[in-house]
Amino acid sequence: MENSILDELKESAAVLNTFINTPSALIAIKNATDIMVACVASGNKIISCGNGGSMSDAMHFAEELTGRFRNNRKSIAAIAISDPSHITCTANDYGFEHIFSRYIEGVAKQGDVLLAISTSGNSENIVEAVKAAKEKQMKVVALTGKDGGKLADMVDLEIRAPFTIYADRAQEIHIKVIHILIKNIEQELFKLNLI
């Protein structure tokens, strides 16, 4: 068992090392920060969404912005699409593929930013969310994995985890990216004297 634990940690480290040594990924994180800071500085909000573990990541991203990450500061406008009443109502009435897009139709506005999380890049409800965001003239940042899937060509900015067979390795990269985004957003808004 100890060997399998060590193997898991080594594999995780190897995937992270691949990501670290992908200059375009690091630039994409910087550019995503710029998009999100401009959004909040303009009085708009960041909306996040994902399925399963990616929903947990979307919720974590939003709560760290509205609550607190490392230091005390003003709340930052962010919300994750995670209300079970909305999700079950919409899934029942319109289909699971519309659980996020319906929320965006009702709550989002031009100038908001969508953080769309899908390890495959092909989740239909995330694809529909991106379409709805584009109709609202929102900027869309996607966290993906594998080959980027359908989202790769649909979004303004994609941050792609290195290719792995299983979703967990992509999710490990995603949570690191999320923490970096939160930290960078805080720092930049503080420099602008907005938080």
The per-residue pLDDT for range 105-129, each reduced to its tens digit, is: 999 999 999 999 999 999 999 999 9
- Return the closest-CA partner of residue 143 out of 119, 165, 168: 119
Altogether, the residues listed in the chain come to a count of 195
Starting at the edge strand that comes first in sequence, how are the strands of the sheet with 113-117 ordered? Answer: 78-80, 46-49, 113-117, 139-144, 157-160
Per-residue confidence (pLDDT) for residue 28, from 0 to 100: 98
Residue 110: both structure tokens together? 């031009």
Distance from chain centroid for Cα 129: 12
Domain ranges of the chain: 2-191
CATH class of the domain at 2-191:
alpha beta
pLDDT at 1 over 90: no
pLDDT at 2 over 80: no
Average pLDDT over residues 66-77: 94
Per-residue confidence (pLDDT) for residue 194, from 0 to 100: 82
Per-residue confidence (pLDDT) for residue 71, from 0 to 100: 87
Residues 128-163 have pLDDT tens digits of 999 999 999 999 999 999 999 999 999 999 999 999
Q: At CA 4, angle to CA 51 and CA 165, rounded to 5?
A: 40
